[in-house]
Structure 1
Amino acid sequence: MHDLLFGGFAPRYPTYRLIIIQILVTIFLCINMLLIGTFFKTESFHTSARYLLFALMLMSDSFLLFMSDIMVVCTSLGFTMQVFVCVIFSTTVLLYNMVTPITLVAMTLERYAAICMPLRHAELCSTRSTVHCILIIHGISSVPCIIILSVFFASASLSIYKQNMVCTVNVFILYTWHNHLRSAVSQFFFLMMCIVICFSYYKIMKVANAASGESKKSTLRGLKTVILHAFQLLLCLIQLWCPFIEAATLEIDLNLFASVRYANYVIFFLASRCLSPLIYGLRDETFFLALKKFYRS
């Protein structure tokens, strides 16, 4: 199996690095489980579009952390698996890697509706509409996977599926143009998401400038939320660039490549997926009070 992006090289992290990753994943999963538990224990959150989308982001990130950690452990231990099994793992990771940024866009649009269209907010962001929105999020997130899978199945020979390999998410990259296609699809999606967030920011800013008193304070809080979503989306975008940085370091030195890939995984994958939802949860006064109540119980 030709792994174009990393030249077939799957780095095996030293034991201490693998232990650090396991500690971080365990901590972040516990934090996310605490936040998810708070959501399920607080019935008022179950009818709020804002908290339903937040819970979706927490659960998708937790599942993604768990799946990616399995792949990291298997890679570090040199564990091989058949290609078709690796394809299933990699497809799941690619799918839920897109769910978080698209959920951020949906949460931004919810804030836009709450501030710029307050009279229609209850109708647009009802529980029924939010459930439909969650289905749409998964549908849109699956589009890049469908494109990448279709190209892979059309290009791969049947003999490839019988091979064993150390599984990475680059199993789908057989030719140079596969990598270019994957990059183009990802960048198109992020461009669309950035446009939506910038549009929402501009509209909310106009309302903030025209508002006064308590209305202005509420609008400014919504504006800060949109900025936080934009920051989270930026972290996801940086993660998109990481493979290109890693590919460049691979041409210089294998040890440097392994170190850069490890740093990218910890900073732009683990931290960005867990710290941002934590910040979002703690800065929301209602959710923070519910979290304190859940923790004491």
Structure 2
Amino acid sequence: MLIQVFVVLFLCINLLLITTFFSKDVFYTTMRYILFAVTLMSDSAVLQINLMLFLNVRYFTIQMWFCLILYIISSLCMVVTPVTLTAMTLERYVAICLPLRHAELCSPRSTLHGILIIYSLSSLPCISFLSIFLASSSSASYTQSGTCAGETFIIYTWQGPLMSAINQFYFLIMCITVVFSYVKIMRLAKAASGEDKKSTWRGLRTVGLHAFQQLLCLIQLWGPFIEAAVFKINVLLSIKVRFFNYITFILAPRCLSPLIYGLRDEMFFMP
């Protein structure tokens, strides 16, 4: 219950930052603020759904058709956050290492195309996983009531390895992108001087915080398979591992977004 109180608190903070975003025109024309808003909305959706699932486990059951909708939104937003963080890292790389092309590459039109790409890439794991369930399940299963969990949609044993392969591929691509951007910015920071050096190191710290947050999000992609392996060894231990993964790799990185980007930015507090 204490964890859920913190979830509600950060949902309120996210709502405040989202409201501030829509109240200032300057945010609409800046790529990093638009991407930050996308992250806030996806994180808020994950926190809200996890709060609903907590209440589902403790107090009531829901029908599987509604559980399916929640799972689609949750699994999509789970991937949207790390992919968006990768896009934000690339934006910082362009702003610092390619300043003359920043206005061209990070225009509002390019940002819109980037958001479409982000959601398209993020939907692929969900589509590949759920298409198997939709093709194999009966229509009567959608009206059954119970506890909503991701394991409900696993029908074949090979679905686990398939999702593991997809997640590891995403993990590899995003890690390479973040490391490349970090190394390039670090080299430029060492060569810069004066105000440029200060600005570059500030961007480097931002990319470093993105990398840490993204690492937590990406480790979460391996969570279900770690929990399944531990479950075969000890059931009680698997419950503790699942709770640890929930706090560390699901809640923590989504609560870091407003702290890393929103509350550190003076633009959100200017009248």
AA of the residue aligned to 1:44: V
Displacement, 1:252? 4.4
Q: Does residue 75 of the first structure (1) align with residue 26 of the second (2)?
A: no
Task: Provide the residue aligned with 1:210 in structure 2.
Answer: 191
The one of 85, 102, 111 aligned to 2:92: 111
Task: Provide the residue aligned with 1:261 in structure 2.
Answer: 242
Displacement, 1:147? 1.0
Q: Distance in 1 between matches of 2:258 and 2:81?
A: 10
Deviations 1:20-74 (A, max 9, x none): 2331211110111122222223322221111111111111111121122212211
Q: Distance in 1 between matches of 2:142 and 2:20?
A: 43
Contact 1:46 1:52 in 2 (8 A): yes
Q: Distance in 1 between matches of 2:197 and 2:175?
A: 25
Task: Provide the residue aligned with 1:220 in structure 2.
Answer: 201
Residue 205 of structure 1: SS of its match in structure 2? helix
Contact 1:49 1:127 in 2 (8 A): yes
Residue 176 of structure 1: SS of its match in structure 2? coil
The one of 29, 41, 44 aligned to 1:59: 41
Task: Provide the residue aligned with 1:4 in structure 2.
Answer: none
The one of 110, 118, 121 aligned to 1:140: 121
Contact 1:86 1:171 in 2 (8 A): no
Task: Provide the residue aligned with 2:101 in structure 1.
Answer: 120
AA of the residue aligned to 1:43: D
Deviations 1:76-120 (A, max 9, x none): 235142x33322211111001111001001101111111111111
Determine which structure has greater relative contact order: mean sequence separation of CA pairs < 8 Å that are 6+ residues apart, divided by chain length.
1
Task: Provide the residue aligned with 2:78 in structure 1.
Answer: 97
Residue 283 of structure 1: SS of its match in structure 2? coil
**TM-score (ref. length: structure 2):** 0.92
Q: Distance in 2 between matches of 1:187 and 1:270?
A: 21
- Mapping 1:144-163, distance limit 5 Å: 144-163=125-144
Deviations 1:179-225 (A, max 9, x none): 11111111111111111111111221222232211111111111111
Q: Does residue 280 of the first structure (1) align with residue 261 of the second (2)?
A: yes
Q: Distance in 1 between matches of 2:70 and 2:213?
A: 25
Q: Distance in 2 between matches of 1:116 and 1:171?
A: 47
Contact 2:46 2:77 in 1 (8 A): yes
Deviations 1:250-296 (A, max 9, x none): 33444433333223222321122112431222333x33xx32x46xx
Residue 221 of structure 2: SS of its match in structure 1? helix
132-141 or 152-161: which moved more?
152-161
Q: Distance in 2 between matches of 1:22 and 1:222?
A: 33
Residue 155 of structure 2: SS of its match in structure 1? coil
Q: Does residue 244 of the first structure (1) align with residue 261 of the second (2)?
A: no
Task: Provide the residue aligned with 1:37 in structure 2.
Answer: 19
Q: Distance in 2 between matches of 1:79 and 1:152?
A: 21
Contact 2:213 2:256 in 1 (8 A): no
Q: Distance in 1 between matches of 2:187 and 2:256?
A: 30
Question: How large is the Cα RMSD of the aligned pairs?
Answer: 2.0
Contact 2:40 2:257 in 1 (8 A): no
Q: Structure 1 vs Structure 2: percent identity of aligned residues?
A: 56
Q: Distance in 2 between matches of 1:258 and 1:80?
A: 22
Kindly tell me the number of residue pairs found equivalent between the two proteins. Answer: 271
The one of 20, 28, 38 aligned to 2:2: 20
**Structure 1 runs not aligned, ≥5 long:** 1-18
Displacement, 1:132? 1.8
AA of the residue aligned to 2:33: Y
Q: Distance in 1 between matches of 2:92 and 2:221?
A: 26
Q: Distance in 2 between matches of 1:281 and 1:88?
A: 29
Q: Does residue 130 of the first structure (1) align with residue 111 of the second (2)?
A: yes
Residue 251 of structure 1: SS of its match in structure 2? helix
AA of the residue aligned to 1:54: F
